[in-house]
Each structure stands twice: as C-alpha cells, then as structure tokens.
C-alpha cells in the first residue's frame, strides 16, 4: 500500500527547487531542502513547513545527513549536471531510493542518467519540443 504522505528530499533551492519543495510541502508531504547557500531558502514560500539543510550536495556526508535513506522521492535540481548525477547515483544505489528525478542541462548527458535508472527533466529538450510546434506550422501551444 502506498503512503499518501511522501518523504521528499530536494537538492537545490533555486527557482525550480524552491517551487517544487513549496508545492510538495503545501500538499502535506514531508520535505527536506538542501542547498549550499543558506540565503537560497528565502525563495521557499511562507507556507513551507519542511526542513532545510545547508550543505554541499557534491559531498556524500551532506547527502547522508539529508535523510535520503528514508526518501520516497529525491529531486536533484542543482545547477550542475555532475552534482545532480552524484546525488542521483548515491540516492538510487547506495540509499535505495526508487524514484529519483534529476534536472540535466546538457541533453547529451541525459542518456547517462537514464541508464542509471534516473528520470530526467532536461530544460533544453523541453523548450525545443515546445518551440518545434511553431516550425511545424502551429500558431498556439
């Protein structure tokens, strides 16, 4: 039986990380957000009721301290593909998290993540797919 209340760890508290952490928290999920810059947590909504961890996600101890071992979902949303890969592989294979989602900036690296069992969101690919509609003769998205 699936739990309706999930335990979610979000690495990176930029625009996307803070938004997804805030949404998950408002939906009643348990959320931990990790960022190396404490000021980034200001982006979280005033309704955010989760926890924050200041630390470098490129360091194993930070990942461990973030309680990833208990996570239902891990989002690797830092601004660095290598860091996101490290978070993803550690979460998936060391801590056994089944649902790991990573933002990947370089579309050429997406396959490496996918082959490691990580779900990928690539902003470049998403934009190209959306804009391609106009090339194909569409006038509205």
Averaged confidence pLDDT in the chain: 94
Across the range 56-77, mean pLDDT stands at 97
What are the residues whose beta carbons fall under 8 Å from the beta carbon of 132, sequence distance 6 or more? none
Two tokens, residue 110:
């997406």
Give the Å distances, CA to CA, from 139 to 96, 123, 124, 129: 45, 22, 21, 14
pTM of the complete model: 0.91
DSSP of 40-71: GGGGS-TT--SEEEES-TTSHHHHHHTTGGG-
pLDDT tier, 63 (very low <50, low <70, confident <90, very high otherwise): very high
Two tokens, residue 129:
């797919």
Quote the pLDDT of residue 133. Answer: 82
Across the range 64-85, mean pLDDT stands at 97
Question: pLDDT tens, 1-30?
Answer: 456 899 999 999 999 999 999 999 999 999
pLDDT tier, 101 (very low <50, low <70, confident <90, very high otherwise): very high
What are the residues whose beta carbons fall under 8 Å from the beta carbon of 135, sequence distance 6 or more? none
- Domains of the chain are 7-135 (3.40.50.720)
Quote the pLDDT of residue 105. Answer: 96
- Give, in degrees to the nearest 5, the angle at Cα 105 between 135 and 125: 25
């Amino acid at each position: 039986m699936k739990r309706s209340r999930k335990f979610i760890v979000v690495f990176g508290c930029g625009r996307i990380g803070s938004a997804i952490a805030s949404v998950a928290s408002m939906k009643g999920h348990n959320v931990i957000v990790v960022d190396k810059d404490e000021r980034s947590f200001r982006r979280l909504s005033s309704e955010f009721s989760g926890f924050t961890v200041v630390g470098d996600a490129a360091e194993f101890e930070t990942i461990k301290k973030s309680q990833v071992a208990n996570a239902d979902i891990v989002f690797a949303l830092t601004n660095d593909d290598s860091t996101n890969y490290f978070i993803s592989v550690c979460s998936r294979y060391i801590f056994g998290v089944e649902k790991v989602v990573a933002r990947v900036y370089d579309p050429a690296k997406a396959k490496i993540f996918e082959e490691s069992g990580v779900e990928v969101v690539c902003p470049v690919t998403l934009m190209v797919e959306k804009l391609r509609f106009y090339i194909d003769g569409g006038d509205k998205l």
